[in-house]
A and B are shown apart, each in its own frame.
Chain A
Amino acid sequence: MKAPLYSLLLCLMLSACNGSHKNIPSTINLPEFPGFEIKANSDFGSVKLSGYEYKSVDGKTVAYNTCAEATNSKETEIAEYELFRYRLLINSCHALKRYLAAKPSTDSFFPSQFDASLVRELPATSVPLLNKTQEEARTGKTVNTYFANGQLSLEKNGSVKLQTVDDEIIYTLLARGDLTNDGIEDLLVRTEWYARKASGKHVDLLVLSKTGQDKAVTIEWRLMSN
């Protein structure tokens, strides 16, 4: 009886040393998916939604009961003042789809905690982008170097807030898992931008990868292009 136990312990010790035999399950940050009926072995089509209603441009109430309904809808039908909230739902639905397709990882180079020190190392382009000028100015820089005077803080829900003179940017970890099919754990992160002195707001969804301890975090995929 003891031999299998010793083997298991040895295996765990070895995997801790070289990191190539881990089996890290994908995980989802469920509180960030309110009204999503996600069960074990859910597939994207079977996940039901509750409480997602919007006003249309002609004043009617539009309700979405599944992500398929929501992602197949046209945002031009939604009243302008509901647009951001509608885009948050679309963002969540895409995140769910990515998470359900994720595989367990064999290794991870991300820390277990999603916090300010991790956000500091993310590419500066991780902030929802408004145009090419912003993208070019931020390319090759990290949050730490581009927003040198920005204040980072941890929010009650575990999100990280980056505040600058003009902007507030919220980073929320939605899921972890192998999202890029290379065996290495990636992060699925929602980023929200809010203008502090105006009404602008924008949301994006990112797949972040880190393929080595000394490698920089890269954006492997994003929902919104500018």
Chain B
Amino acid sequence: MALRADVKKDVAKNIEKYEGRFEHIYLDTKGKVTVGVGHLISNRGAMAMLVFYKTKNNLPTTIAPTQEKQAEYDAVAKLPWGQQYGAATFKKSTNLVMKDANINQLLDRHIDSFYKELTGIYKKSKGYPEDFDNLPANVQLALFDLIFNLGASKIVSNFPTLDAAIKKGDWKKAAPETNRPDVSVTRNLYVKQLLLSVPAAAVTTP
């Protein structure tokens, strides 16, 4: 099965809200080179796999060769970073940009990898009320938010009360257990509301 289109659309919108969207490379708060919607570029070699464009009058023109992409990576990687430097401050130090289509492609890959993890965790055979694909859309959205933030192992091992409530399909009990101090009040409320909107043990089939 594939991830529902409406869920994927909302997940993409949310991730963009949490990570921002930048067509140029920048250094995150740990000094890691990043692009698009929070896509980490682990080393200069990884630039070869990404499509960047040269620009004229701030508009993308021709595809940049690997050498130029790696030179940009090297130049940005040397810049100061940290609490004073938001992603947008790196724009003036860059010459290359990604097009929306390429950014979306990376985001899709990101969502797909989390989707695979979610379908691996939430299975009826493992004691959950349904396989991930058959859980209500709002529950899927809430679980995406959690896994994107915490990672696969933490949502189960560090949130046992939440996990037990999910196994029972008790969304009302699960809702307050999703609270995380590392995310905003608005985001916590959004995830709680998603779960509270689903009737207890309501399981849908697509």
Give residues in A with beta carbon < 8 Å to B. Answer: 34-35, 51-55, 75-76, 79-85, 88-89, 92, 128-131, 133-134, 165-166, 193-202, 224-226
Check B83–A202 contact: CB distance below 8 A.
no
Among A35, A82, A134, A202, contact of B86 (Cβ-Cβ < 8 Å): A82
A178 vs B180: C-alpha distance in the bound complex, in angstroms? 32
Check A85–B83 contact: CB distance below 8 A.
yes
Given A34-B84, A85-B86, A80-B150 contact (CB < 8 Å)? no
Q: How far is the CB of A220 from chain B (nearest CB, A)?
A: 20
17 A–B pairs (Cβ distance < 8 Å), ordered by A: A34-B80, A51-B84, A54-B86, A75-B184, A80-B18, A81-B87, A89-B83, A128-B182, A129-B181, A130-B181, A131-B159, A133-B161, A197-B152, A198-B149, A198-B151, A201-B182, A202-B182
Chain A residues within 8 Å of B152, by CB? 197-198
B205 within 8 A of A: no
Chain A residues within 8 Å of B105, by CB? none
Scan B151-170; emit 1 where CB is below 8 A from any A CB, else 0. 11110001111000000000
A89 vs B82: C-alpha distance in the bound complex, in angstroms? 10
Check A195–B149 contact: CB distance below 8 A.
yes
Among A76, A92, A194, contact of B30 (Cβ-Cβ < 8 Å): A194
A54 vs B182: C-alpha distance in the bound complex, in angstroms? 18
A21 vs B157: C-alpha distance in the bound complex, in angstroms? 49
Chain A residues within 8 Å of B150, by CB? 130, 195, 198, 200
Q: How far is the CB of A151 from chain B (nearest CB, A)?
A: 17
Chain B residues within 8 Å of A85, by CB? 29, 83, 86
Among B87, B182, B185, contact of A76 (Cβ-Cβ < 8 Å): B185
Q: Which residue of A lies closest to B30 (CB)?
A: A194
Interface residues on B, range: 35 or more
Q: How far is the CB of A168 from chain B (nearest CB, A)?
A: 8
A60 vs B184: C-alpha distance in the bound complex, in angstroms? 18
Given A81-B17, A199-B148, A193-B30 contact (CB < 8 Å)? no
Among A83, A130, A202, contact of B184 (Cβ-Cβ < 8 Å): A83
Chain A residues within 8 Å of B87, by CB? 81
B88 within 8 A of A: yes
B126 within 8 A of A: no
Check B83–A92 contact: CB distance below 8 A.
yes
Scan B33-66; emit 1 where CB is below 8 A from any A CB, else 0. 0000010000000000000000000000000000
A79-B20, A81-B18, A195-B150 are known; give 20 further A-B pairs, CB within 8 A: A34-B83, A35-B84, A75-B184, A80-B186, A83-B184, A85-B29, A88-B29, A92-B83, A128-B181, A129-B181, A130-B158, A131-B179, A133-B159, A193-B182, A197-B153, A198-B147, A198-B149, A198-B154, A199-B38, A202-B182
Chain A residues within 8 Å of B179, by CB? 131
Q: Which residue of B lies closest to A92 (CB)?
A: B83
Among B19, B151, B154, B185, contact of A81 (Cβ-Cβ < 8 Å): B19
Check A133–B160 contact: CB distance below 8 A.
yes
Check B151–A130 contact: CB distance below 8 A.
no
Chain B residues within 8 Å of A53, by CB? 86
Check B180–A130 contact: CB distance below 8 A.
yes
A128 vs B180: C-alpha distance in the bound complex, in angstroms? 11
B187 within 8 A of A: yes
Chain A residues within 8 Å of B19, by CB? 81, 199
Q: Which residue of B lies closest to A202 (CB)?
A: B182
Q: Which residue of A lies closest to B32 (CB)?
A: A194
Given A80-B187, A129-B181, A52-B88 contact (CB < 8 Å)? no
A131 vs B80: C-alpha distance in the bound complex, in angstroms? 33
